[in-house]
Amino acid sequence: MCTMIAQQVRIFGRGKSGPEWFDVREANVSYDHPYDLPLEHALNIDFVNEAMGPGARVAVELSVDAARQLVRTIQAVLAEADQRGVLEDCPVIAVPAREISTT
Amino acid sequence: MAHAYQTDQYEGMIAETVTMKGHNGDTINAYVARPLGAGPFPGMVVIHHAPGWDEWYRECTRKFAHHGFVAISPNLYFRDGHGTPEDVGAKVRAAGGAPDARVLGDLDGANALLRSLPYVSRKVGIFGTCSGGRQAFLAGCRLKGLDAVIECWGGRVVMSKEELTPSQPVAPIEYTKDLSAPILGLFGNEDKSPTPEQVNQHEAELKKHGKSYEFHRYDGAGHGFFYYDRAAYRQEQAMDGWKKLFAFTDRTLR
C-alpha cells in the first residue's frame, strides 16, 4: 500500500466471516488504503488465522475518529469489568506485537 | 479517448491467465491480453496496485490490449497464497508490502516473456499505479530493456529513513540517476502519498540528472483518480490522464 503502516499482534479468539466461526490467531492493524470504506486511508483491522490461508479473515475498516472511539470504549468496558470483578483469566497468548514497519 | 477506431473495422482480443518465470526463476501466474493479429505490437508490463491483483487490473490490462499493446500483468502476490484479491492483498498489506527485489525480479520476467513473443515489437513499456507507480519507477531505474515508464501517483518514491525496511531498503528516488527510459508521471494535487511536495522532490531529481520526463498534476484529484470503482475516481482528470498516457506511448513505444 502507500503508507505501509502496519503492525501485527498475536491474539486468542474466534471470528466469523461467513456461516462458520473460526479461530483467529493474529490481528493485523494498518493505517492504509481500505477496500470498501470510501476514504483514501483508514484504520483497518484484519482478524486472521494465517495457518488457514488468506480467506480466514474478519475485516473492519474504520475512520480515524471511529477507531479512537473504539479503543476508548474497549478500555472502558474492560475497566468496568475489572472493577466489578468479572474479568476472566482467559488464555491470552502473551506474544509481543511484531512490528511490521514504523511510522 | 485517444483510440480513434472506426465502427466498420475488425478487432479481436485474447485475454487469459498464463504462467511465467519470475524472481529467482519461480513460476508465478500472470494475466495477458493482446490484440488478435500478427503485430508487431508494443508490449506493456502492467503492475497491479497495492490492494491486489484485482478486477480493475484485469480491465486495465485489456484496455492496453484494446489500444494495441500486448499487455501482461504479473501476480506480484503469487507467493503470498491464493484467495480473493482482497484477502491476499490484505495479507500483503499486513506484511508491509511486497519486497522490492522480488517485485523487480517478477517485472523483469514479465518483460522477458513479452520480448520472447513473435508478435511483440522491440518496444516495451511499464505502467503502474499506487505502489505499482513506485515500482514502475523503480523498474525503470533498476532493470534493463524498458522503453517507457508510466508512473501514476507512486507513493513512497520519496521515503524517510524511518520508512525503510529490509524488504524496501532504499528509497526509489535514490536511483534516479539510473533511470534509462522516458517517464510520464500523473499525480493528484490532493494526494497524501505522494504529497505535492514529494512530487516536487521527485521532479527536481529527474531534472537534476537530465532525465526525459513529463509530469502532469491535477487539481481536484487525490490518490487513485483512475479507479472508477472507488470514491477517488475523478472522471475529467482520469480521461485527460489516459489521453496524455496514450500520447506519451505513441511517442515512445511506436
- Convert the pLDDT of each residue in B9-43 to its tens digit: 889 999 999 999 999 999 999 999 999 999 999 99
Domain-located, residue B1: no
Domain-located, residue B7: no
Chain B residue nearest residue A51, CA to CA: B81
**Per-residue pLDDT, A3:** 84
**Residue at A4: amino acid letter:** M
Domain-located, residue B185: yes
C-beta separation of A47 from B90 below 8 A: no
Q: Is pLDDT larger for residue A54 or for residue A93?
A: A54
Whole domain around residue B21: which residue ranges? 13-253
Domain-located, residue B6: no
Chain A residue nearest residue B160, CA to CA: A103
Domain-located, residue B8: no
A46 neighbourhood in chain B, CB within 8 Å:
90, 94
Domain-located, residue B87: yes
CB distance from A102 to chain B under 8 Å?
yes
> Distance from first CA to last CA of chain B, Å, rounded?
18
CB distance from A41 to chain B under 8 Å?
yes
**Per-residue pLDDT, B60:** 98
For B147, phi and psi rounded to 5 degrees?
Answer: -105, -10
The arithmetic mean of pLDDT across residues B213-228, rounded, is 97
How many angstroms separate the CA of residue B92 from the nearest CA in chain A?
9
CB distance from A4 to chain B under 8 Å?
yes
Q: Are the Cβ atoms of B192 and A40 closer than 8 angstroms?
A: yes
B231 neighbourhood in chain A, CB within 8 Å:
38-39
**Per-residue pLDDT, A2:** 77
B95 neighbourhood in chain A, CB within 8 Å:
6, 100
Mean pLDDT for chain B overall? 96
CA distance B191 to A79: 40
The arithmetic mean of pLDDT across residues B90-106, rounded, is 96
The arithmetic mean of pLDDT across residues B127-137, rounded, is 97
Q: Cβ neighbours of residue B40 under 8 Å, at least 6 residues apart?
A: B119, B120, B121, B122
B222 neighbourhood in chain A, CB within 8 Å:
40
Q: Are the Cβ atoms of A55 and B83 closer than 8 angstroms?
A: yes
**Per-residue pLDDT, B3:** 61
B223 neighbourhood in chain A, CB within 8 Å:
2, 33, 40
The arithmetic mean of pLDDT across residues B97-108, rounded, is 97
**Per-residue pLDDT, A88:** 84
The cell for B109 is 520476467
pLDDT in tens, B170-199: 999 999 999 999 999 999 999 999 999 999
For B101, phi and psi rounded to 5 degrees?
Answer: -65, -40
**Residue at B112: amino acid letter:** A
Residue A94 has pLDDT above 60, yes or no: no
Chain B residue nearest residue A46, CA to CA: B90
CA distance B180 to B111: 15
CA distance B12 to B35: 6
CATH number (domain holding residue B124) = 3.40.50.1820
Domain-located, residue B209: yes
Residue A101 has pLDDT above 90, yes or no: no
CB distance from A40 to chain B under 8 Å?
yes
Q: Are the Cβ atoms of A55 and B155 closer than 8 angstroms?
A: no
> In chain B, what percentage of residues exceed pLDDT 70?
98
Residue A99 has pLDDT above 70, yes or no: no
pLDDT in tens, A3-31: 889 999 999 999 999 899 999 999 999 99
What pTM was estimated for this model as a whole? 0.92
Q: Are the Cβ atoms of B89 and A2 closer than 8 angstroms?
A: no
Q: Are the Cβ atoms of A54 and B81 closer than 8 angstroms?
A: yes
Q: pLDDT band for position B44 (50/70/90)? A: very high
CB distance from B244 to chain A under 8 Å?
no
**Per-residue pLDDT, A18:** 87
How many angstroms separate the CA of residue B68 from the nearest CA in chain A?
30
Domain-located, residue B5: no
Interface mutation target, options B91, B130, B190, chain A, most CBs of A under 10 Å = B91
The cell for A36 is 470498501
CB distance from A60 to chain B under 8 Å?
no
Q: Are the Cβ atoms of A54 and B83 closer than 8 angstroms?
A: yes
**Per-residue pLDDT, A98:** 46
Give me the number of domains chain B comprises: 1
Q: Are the Cβ atoms of B231 and A38 closer than 8 angstroms?
A: yes
Residue A100 has pLDDT above 50, yes or no: no
CA distance B132 to B172: 12
Residue A97 has pLDDT above 50, yes or no: no
